[in-house]
Structure 1
Amino acid sequence: SGQVCAIAMGEIGKHSRVMAPLYGSVMTYGYVDIPVAPGQLRVDELKNMLKIL
């Protein structure tokens, strides 16, 4: 019954970074300067997409 942080990795999992709250995740990750893994979104892009939700 603890909190969950879940995201899928890579290009195929990119959508999960935006949709994570709908899956029950309490956080997600966006990069500031340089992505360190495939499928990561810039933090400003992620914030804008999350506002739409």
Structure 2
Amino acid sequence: MDDEIAATIDEPTVDYSSYTVAQLKSIADESGVEYPSNIKKADLIAKLEEQA
């Protein structure tokens, strides 16, 4: 039963909205997430959340 409980607990989610676009791009670069240079903050956050 403990294994079932552990499997349903997700890692804490990151609140990307508190980061600047430059910080988000740095996180994306480190994570290997590709994005266009003119990406909007909301779109970059969505890409990072998809990758997580």
Common fold by TM > 0.5: no
Structure with more strand by fraction? 1
Higher helix share: 2
Task: Give the structure-1-normalised TM-score.
Answer: 0.28
| Structure of larger gyration radius | 2
TM-score (norm 2): 0.28
